[in-house]
Structure 1
Amino acid sequence: MKVYIIGSVGSGKTTLAKTIAAKLRIPRFEIDNFVWERQAISDLRNSEKARNKQFQQAVQLPE
């Protein structure tokens, strides 16, 4: 099962996703983490190639 949750900033997407993923025992991915490489001081933007690779890996996981 794959669920894509959209909404504006601060609308509760992450909270909802965590709840659904826990109840259904499915993995959860935050789209921002495909775009950004998280750093302690400041985040770095991933290249399109790296972003697309991470996204495809997530999408291709078995259901």
Structure 2
Amino acid sequence: MSPIVAKILAGLIIIAGIWLIYKIMTYKPKYYKDERTPEEKLAAQIHRDAISREVWFGNKNRRK
């Protein structure tokens, strides 16, 4: 096999590997059903907001 063909094949294999890793990392099931009740969803949202607020502004009234 000539070196040019070998380089092209190697490049294609590398690109295919990167594409496969990308697909695995961004995999999301097509029919994902959220089984939580509206109250649970709201509680999770409030919790996320509190965490992000603490990350951005710091928790000023935390005991030291």
Q: TM-score range by the shorter chain?
A: under 0.3
Q: TM-score, normalised by structure 1?
A: 0.28
Which has more strand, going by share of residues?
1
Indicate the structure whose relative CO is greater, using CA pairs within 8 Å and at least 6 residues apart: 1
Which has more helix, going by share of residues?
2
Q: TM-score, normalised by structure 2?
A: 0.27
- The structure whose Rg is larger is 2
